[in-house]
Amino acid sequence: MSEKLPNMLETTIQKIREMVDANTVVGKPVTTPDGVTILPVSKISVGLGGGGSDFAMSKAPAGQMPFGGGVGAGVKVTPVAFLVVKDGNVRIMTIAEPANATADRIVEMVPDTLDKISAFLDSRKKPE
């Protein structure tokens, strides 16, 4: 087997390490003029794949086989929260992910719909 595929994988992983580090997960702090410090927190997803093969060819020099292969990677950074530091107290403010499926949207609508129905029924009640 050719040593080219492990070298390609190693190079790709090194490039991912350069892009994604601890500062990507917990971002650099931002301090506001009134003394509040905000730290962004993110989720990182990484996908990596690769493959290759040596090919036997009749015209290849003795002991050498041509190699064909490739490596691909993807990195996704999703903000999930902010840490807010004020006067020595730390609060976490999460970022809600938007509903992707119809069922998720319906579940999100239930509390608001129940409040509207309750308000409607209360308005129809006659004082005794």
- In this prediction, residue 17 carries a pLDDT of 77
Domain range list for the chain? 4-96
Q: What is the reported pLDDT for 98?
A: 66
1 CB neighbour count, 10 Å cutoff: 10
pLDDT of 99 reads: 61
Strand 30-31 vs strand 67-86: parallel, antiparallel, or unpaired?
A: unpaired
Helix or strand holding residue 38 (H, E): strand 37-54
pLDDT per residue, tens digit, the chain (128 aa), is 456 667 777 888 887 777 777 677 888 889 999 989 999 998 888 888 877 777 776 676 666 667 778 888 888 888 889 999 998 899 988 887 666 777 767 777 777 777 788 887 777 775 65
C-alpha distance from residue 32 to each of 8, 40, 50, 67 (Å)? 44, 14, 45, 55
What pLDDT shows up at residue 33? Answer: 92
What is the predicted pLDDT for the residue at 63?
63
Closest CA to 33 of 86, 90, 89: 86
pLDDT at 38: 92
